[in-house]
Structure 1
Amino acid sequence: MDFEFLRPLDQQLFEEIVTAEAHNLGSQLLVHTQSSGIPDLENVQIAIVSVNENRLVEGYEDEFLNFNKIRRSFYSLFPGNWHLNIADLGSIEKGETVEDTYFALQSLVKELLKKNIIPVILGGSQDLIYAQYRAYDFVEQMVNLVNVDSRFDLGDAEKSISNKSYIGKIVVNKPYNLFNYSNVGYQTYYNSQEEIGLMERLFFDAFRLGEVSNNIRIVEPVMRDANLVGIDLNAVNASSINSSPNNSPNGFDGKEICALARYAGISDKVSSFGIYEYTSNYSETGNMLIAQMIWYFIEGVNYRSNENTLSAKKDFIKYQVPIEEEILVFFKSPRTGRWWIEIPFISNSNTKLKRHTLLPCNHEDYLEACNQVIPERWYKTKRKNEV
């Protein structure tokens, strides 16, 4: 892989890693250094990269983002019982323009996806998700995006892209690859009623912070159906991340945000993962929490069930539930106990949707259907299939 825009790891930090404790993550990662260059990615499953770009933050102030603090915290951790090879590819520096940075990130993510390597992106402004998403332009099916964020970030699609309007650009810009957008953890007072209404009209999914905090398992099916996941660090409450940039009293606590990262990792479909809105003002506590989020994501990847394969689906148990004029068809995995619901395939619809015929759900959806209540996500997905 020849990506001249990748900057190697800081030499001083690398020396700290190689002299660190023998069994921690720092001693086990493949690292991009000045002397050895980009590591061989032949048997690598996960690649970490940081992106020093934040020029489209609303109220932007010029700042060099130093991700070494996160790396130092991450490298000090011990791995779980993992069977994964992990590489640190270093950093993408700001291009001459923001579009240059987008192009570099998009090119890197696309190349990693082709190699079946999961990129873990540490970014400045969250509009970088746009480049993460555009890397899927070559993929043959529509994609699902999950965003853990207190805001929808739809913005005004007519205006220039920013860290508060990138979702609008994803929706309206060609090529149209987005099948579903799901927001996890929105807080109503940060979102206009117009945006809330638009989310409903587009049949997108939105889960309020309180709803998720009361029962975090409700987002597992949404994560299971995602292709790419982004986390806005401002979705974490200020006391948990102990950081001056984040002044929100409400948000996910440390345990919850790590659980969400693990759900993203354990999903068989998630092929890229980003953590955004980082600034260099994060405290040692904040950097350690981010490091633990990465750790939990990798932990999830290690325990994937690979139930997206045809051979695994042959073992699923089928349940049929008559409801109104429909017969809802559910499937349950005997191995993991996870549930899916079948979406009727529309023969003349976009051929990219063929792989969306099984929608992840939970046991409660099946029980509700038995009580003659149609699951909301089934209805929304069916409507999107018909459009």
Structure 2
Amino acid sequence: MNFNFLSPVSDLVLAHNELLSPQALGRKIKIHSEQNGIPDLEGVNVAILGVLENRNDVDYIGEEFQLNEIRKSFYSLFPGSWNTMVADLGDIEKGESVEDTYFALKEATGILVKKKIIPLIIGGSQDLTYANYRAYDALIPMVNVVNVDAQFNLGDSTKPIKNNSFVGKIILDKPYNLFNYANIGYQTYFNSQEEIDLMDSLYFELYRLGEVSKDITIVEPAMRDAHIVSIDLNAVKGSEVSVRQRFSPNGLDGKEICAIARYAGISNKVSSFGIYEYKPSKDDEMTAMLVAQMLWYFVEGVNYRVKDDDFSGDSSYQKFTTLTEDHELVFYKSNKTGRWWIEIPFLSEVNNKLKKHTLLPCMHQDYLDACNNKVPERWYKAYRKNSV
């Protein structure tokens, strides 16, 4: 397998790893080392992929960075009772140009996803999400993206891509493969009203920080429907991270961001997961350990995946039909997990993206709302999007 653009995990990290308890994660995972080369990926479920690219950061001033502290923190944690095999494939170094780095990330993601291995991308600037998204051009026809971020990063899509404009590129660049986009944890004062209105007019899903902090479970259905999850560390509040990493006094706390990572892991659809905007500094045990714990919770989630979205056998689910003023809504509840879905009808007269009834993940609360004549917002947006 051609991964010759990957550089091995540094000897410094490997030496540190040797001193850890034999039960620690670092002693149980497969690691790309100078000495042994790229590990055999047989049986691997999740692969860590560092990307040392930050040149499209709007604040880039030539600084280099590395991921050694994150690796040391992650290796030092203890695994749960997992059957999930993790590999650390090392790093994609900066290419001659940023496009070269994008190409390498796209190739690596494509190879791993085809092999049913989930890439865990730890990156510099978040525009790398665009390269991650483009890997799916050759994989599946329509892609759902979830971005955990304080800002929308729409930017001006006519200008070259930056870490504050990559979402605009994902929406507007051909081939158009984006089906649904959800932002989790946005903070209103960081986004212009025009951008918020644009997101609404495209029927994308927006979850404000306040809503998420009030009830973290509202993000689970969006995660269950996502193929790509991208997390900007700037969505985390300043008190949880090191001085250089601080962005805003408000944001998700450590517990919330780890819960979000676990929801992403548990989702049967999520096939790539990225954490971006890491800025190491001398006092940086905090951020490195937080990223390590997010990775841990993601792998924990993957370990507990349950195939509960196959509704072919009648015994696997219960079906509920409700009537609101304008619509008949059909809900499904999995007997295995108790998770809920709602049916989006196929509109035959419209040349829509869905060619059959599609099931949209939802919450029990959506069913209760529908019983009280209230149409769930996620259903309404998906229904409208298919009518466009």
Which position in structure 2 is the counterpart of 1:370?
371
Structure 2 unaligned segments of length 5 or more: list them. none
- Pick which of 353-362 and 333-342 moved more: 353-362
Structure-2 separation of matches of 1:8 and 1:86: 16
1:330 maps to 2:355: no
- Judge which range, 344-353 or 122-131, deviates more: 344-353
Task: State the match for 2:221 in structure 1.
Answer: 221
| TM-score, L = length of structure 1 | 0.97
- Matching residue of 2:248: 248
* Match status 1:236 vs 2:236: yes
Q: Figure out how many residues of one structure are paired with residues of the other and give that number.
A: 387
Shift of 1:355: 7.2
> AA paired with 1:150?
A
C-alpha displacement of 1:36: 1.1
Deviation at 1:307? 1.7
Kept in 1: contact 2:44–2:84 (CA 8 A): yes
- Residue aligning to 1:105: 105
Residues 110 and 139 of structure 2 are in contact (CA less than 8 Å); yes or no, is this contact kept in structure 1?
no
Match of 2:153 in 1: 153
In structure 1, C-alpha distance between the alignment counterparts of 2:387 and 2:247, rounded to whole Å: 42
CA offsets 1:322-352 (integer angstroms, 9 cap, x no match): 1123210000112211110000123466686
Structure 1 counterpart SS, 2:146: strand
Instruction: Check if 1:307 corresponds to 2:313.
Output: no
Specify the code of the residue in structure 2 equivalent to 1:29: I
Whether 2:163 is the aligned partner of 1:163: answer yes
Instruction: Tell whether 2:289 aligns with 1:288.
Output: yes
Within-5 A mapping of 1:79-90: 79-90=79-90
8 Å Cα contact 1:141/1:352 also seen in 2: no
Stretch deviating more after TM superposition (254-263 or 139-148): 139-148
The root-mean-square deviation of aligned C-alpha atoms, in Å, is 1.5
Structure 1 residue runs of 5 or longer lacking an equivalent are none
| Counterpart residue number, 1:264 | 264
Residue of structure 1 equivalent to 2:46: 46
**Do 2:142 and 2:178's aligned partners in 1 also have CA atoms closer than 8 Å?**
yes
Q: 1:245 deviation in Å?
A: 2.8
How many angstroms apart in 2 are the aligned matches of 1:18 and 1:123?
25
Give, in whole Å, the separation in 1 of the partners of 2:311 and 2:339.
16
Tell me which residue corresponds to 1:15: 15
8 Å CA contact 1:182, 1:204 repeated in 2:
yes
1:384 partner amino acid: K
State the one-letter code of the partner of 1:193: Q
8 Å contact from structure 1 (residues 243, 286) kept in 2: no
Q: Distance in 2 between matches of 1:243 and 1:348?
A: 56
Could you tell me how far 1:247 is from its partner in structure 2? 3.2
1:15: how far off?
A: 2.4
CA distance in 1, matches of 2:189, 2:384: 28
- The structural deviation recorded for 1:356 is 7.3
How far apart are residue 354 of structure 1 and its match? 4.2
- Point out the more displaced range, 303-312 or 150-159: 303-312
1:279 corresponds to = 279
Is 1:120–1:272's contact at 8 Å kept on the other side of the alignment? yes
> What CA deviation, in whole Å up to 9, does each residue of 1:197-250 have, x standing for no partner?
100010000010011000111111111111110100000001012332313100
Distance 1:29 1:351, change over 3 A: farther
Q: Which amino acid aligns with 1:6?
A: L
